[in-house]
Copies of this chain bind each other. A is one copy, B any other.
Amino acid sequence: MKDLIEKIRQKDRRALSRMLSMVEERDAKSLELLASLFAERKSSISIGVTGPAGAGKSTLIDQLIRTYRKNNQTVAVVAVDPSSPFSGGAVLGDRVRMQKHYEDEGVFIRSVGSRGKTGGVSFSTRALLDVMNVYGTDVVILETVGAGQSEVDVMNLVDTTLVVLTPEGGDSIQALKAGMLEIADIFVINKKDRAGSELMAHEVQTMISLAPQETSWKPPVLMTLAQTGEGVDALVQDIQKHVSYLEDQDHPEIEQRKLLGAVSEIIKARVSQEVMDFCSSDAGLREKLQQDPKTQNPYQIAIECFDRLDQARLARAKASKGK
């Protein structure tokens, strides 16, 4: 196990792939592996980029990659993607812009599929971010597609969250409603050449001043034109300011809450996997499914499964005690 982690540190891509598929399994062994890996973490910057569709997130990330690469820093981009076979292609189309970076050894791009993994996206993403850290990237950028609750949750995994908005009102306001105001460390009003961008920035400033403040960090509101790279240097500077702020400040309550969140999320992911494994192998459940599904009572079946799951755990606990 130590060997695998050592290989990852030495940038062995095969070891990296093996690690990533082990993480997907989410068994007890992969948890132990992640615990050992976590102990090897180095200091690195993690940036989240979220905001409504069409805000220009990919273009902005492209510019961030350029800037960090100019400074000889290595970058990983982790995209949380709804990975259905059909939409897969469309999302990939979006990434054409980033494609030129695929040939750059200092840039690593990977997506985490969210389809069919309710409640587990955060765990997979968290694990991926930790693996990328040990693999040795200086900057990890987490991008979400969409602007729902799961996207907000995922942003808890990074140090600095950018919320990217555009002057074109409606969807930006809706994004703020969807909980993005509370998670933003830096606001980026992109497409600053469009009409209404000053007004948008002003509105966001007002919203910030009205929102309850949890820390002494006041989110700056920056204006960019990602297509030309205008404003990106200032953005990188503000990201660095936020990183320094986090290092200097001590917020034990916030850190405690984050840690508690992380621990319960990891336990839940493990437990969910246990439930899924059980469901796919339980004969009683299979039998129920064979009967007319329309007439079945899912709550009743769940109660019966839960009883059998408890018995299975009991048997397993006894067996491990007997060892």
Distance between Cα atoms of A310 and B313 in the complex (Å)? 8
Contact A271 B272 (CB under 8 A): yes
Binding stretch for chain B, among A32-40, A100-108, A134-142, A196-204: A32-40
Cα(A94)–Cα(B176), bound, Å: 13
Chain B contacts for A178, CB-based, 8 A? 53, 82, 87, 145-146
Contacting chain B: which of A5-13, A14-22, A223-231, A257-265? A257-265
User: Is A317 positioned at the interface, with any CB of B under 8 Å from its CB?
Assistant: yes
Q: Could you mark each residue 47-85 of chain A with 1 if its beta carbon is under 8 Å from any beta carbon of chain B, else 0?
A: 000001110000000000000000000000000001011
Partner of A263, one of B31, B38, B274, B298: B298
Q: Does A237 interact with chain B (Cβ within 8 Å)?
A: no
- CB within 8 Å of B: which of A131-182? 144-153, 170-171, 173-179, 181-182
The answer on a CB contact under 8 Å between B279 and A267 is yes
Interface majority SS (helix, strand, loop, mixed), chain A: helix
Report the bound CA distance from A177 to B91 in whole Å: 6
Query: A32 with B303: in contact, given A118-B122, A175-B53, A271-B275 (CB under 8 Å)?
Result: yes
- Whether the Cβ atoms of A54 and B170 lie closer than 8 Å is yes
Is B149 within 8 A of A147, CB to CB?
no
- Report the separation of the CA atoms of residues A288 and B260 in the bound assembly, to the nearest whole angstrom: 10
Interface centre among A121, A146, A317 (most CB of B within 10 A): A146
Q: How far is the CA of A17 from the CA of B178 in the complex (A)?
A: 26
Given contacts A82-B178, A266-B298, A266-B302, contact A147 B147 (CB under 8 A): yes
Query: Looking at A118, A147, A278, which has the most chain B CB atoms within 10 Å of its CB?
Result: A118
- Nearest-Cβ distance from residue A266 to partner chain B, whole angstroms: 4
Question: Is the CB–CB distance between B145 and A31 below 8 Å?
Answer: no
Q: Which residue of B lies closest to A211 (CB)?
A: B86
Determine if A209 is an interface residue (Cβ-Cβ < 8 Å): no
User: Are A289 and B259 touching (Cβ within 8 A)?
Assistant: yes
Residue among B38, B252, B297 making CB contact with A293, cutoff 8 Å: B252
Asked if B181 and A86 sit within 8 Å, CB to CB, the answer is yes
Is A118 a contact partner of B267 (Cβ separation < 8 A)? no
Q: List 9 A-B contacts (CB under 8 A).
A: A35-B303, A90-B173, A146-B149, A147-B147, A148-B150, A252-B293, A264-B279, A311-B317, A314-B318
